[in-house]
Amino acid sequence: MRIYLDNAATTQLDSEVFTTITPYLLEFFGNPSSHHEHGRQVKSAIEQARQTIAGLLNASPNEIIFTSGGTEADNTAILSSVRSHQIKHVITTPFEHHAVLHTLEELQKQGEIKLSFINIDSRGNLDIDHLETLLQNNTRSLVSVMHANNEIGNLNDIELIGEVCCSYRAIFHSDTVQTIGHYRHDLSKLKTHFIAASAHKFHGPKGVGFLYCRDGVQLSRLLHGGSQERKLRAGTENIHGIIGLAKALEIAYRDIDEHQKYIQTLKNRMIYKLQEQVGDVYFNGNSAIADKSLYTVLSASLPVNANAFDLLAYLDQNNISVSGGSACSTGSASHVLQAINADASRNTIRFSFSKYNTAAEIDHAVSVLAAVYDSVAA
């Protein structure tokens, strides 16, 4: 049996979600743009899903736009801000997801924006005073800061950042892909204009997500064609994906307190076992600090071992699935670890946990790792 500890990359589909979406694959197959009964059935289901999501996030249904996932949502938010609101200056961090960084780098390359980065310390903590300085020195800006980092787990204070942005009339976009479904978000209070989410990060289906766009903020369309999503996103809707997204978020909110507590105990166990059995280990960023990091992510820095130089491949061969960082960056040096000046001579493993993991899996994964170093000592 394989042990799956790469839940920041994707999560296992919840069986309740599977049961909910099956009828929309087999029975309710109409096109929601059609005006007959088959179309009206699924159109109604889509709007009910939108209402469910909006209700959980304390938003208005018309502020929820369905997308193919977090990447499209991030791209739409950024390009809409720059092109519809004539934003010429964008402020971000050096460890954003590539869906954000690559989009901004391309806009800067094309001469559409000036790009600034908020200073960070060796743990990846943001310098909020520097953010204010950047906002003071320019005309209206877009600030794009993720809620939690997908590689080292750092949580950013988006409530405070939202307040700062509000003071300077800046547009605030936050990539919340790693935290939607894992933390409660009250969008009526959070001073953000855009947030992005992806269903497969919280036990929903792949290929579907949403963009929250605060009422009154102009949104430009990326896809042209039909009038779907209130003429904002052309193309026939991913019906079963949307239904599954809403159900997965509903389940997440229903069980969120229980799962936070349970998964944090697994993470704490992993920290303790690694320190006990491997010894020469430290944790990147704020990864091991409970109130400053995602309870689902632990980034561990381990020494290189000649008997298993590629620890990721070694663990894979021993039926343990983990990653070194973002699944989107496989095969390239992690820009996140570079940003915090992590020791490049060591192995980094990102363990990420879900409600389906067990203490026995944690213990076995650590014992497999520890055996590599025990063999050297012997």
* Catalytic machinery residues: 328
Asked if residue 205 lies in contact with residue 245, where contact means CB atoms within 8 angstroms, the answer is yes
Residue with tokens 């070194």: 324
Measured from the Cβ of residue 276, the count of other Cβ atoms closer than 10 Å reads 11
Asked if residue 172 lies in contact with residue 200, where contact means CB atoms within 8 angstroms, the answer is no
> Phi and psi at residue 306, in whole multiples of 5°?
-60, -25
Distance CA 174, CA 147 (A): 6
Half-sphere exposure of 169 (CA within 13 A, CB side): 5
Taking alpha carbons only, the member of 177, 173, 149 closest to residue 161 is 173
Distance CA 332, CA 106 (A): 19
Distance CA 118, CA 108 (A): 16
First to last CA, the chain: 29
Distance CA 10, CA 272 (A): 25
Burial degree of 334 (CB within 10 A; 0-12, 13-18, 19+)? buried
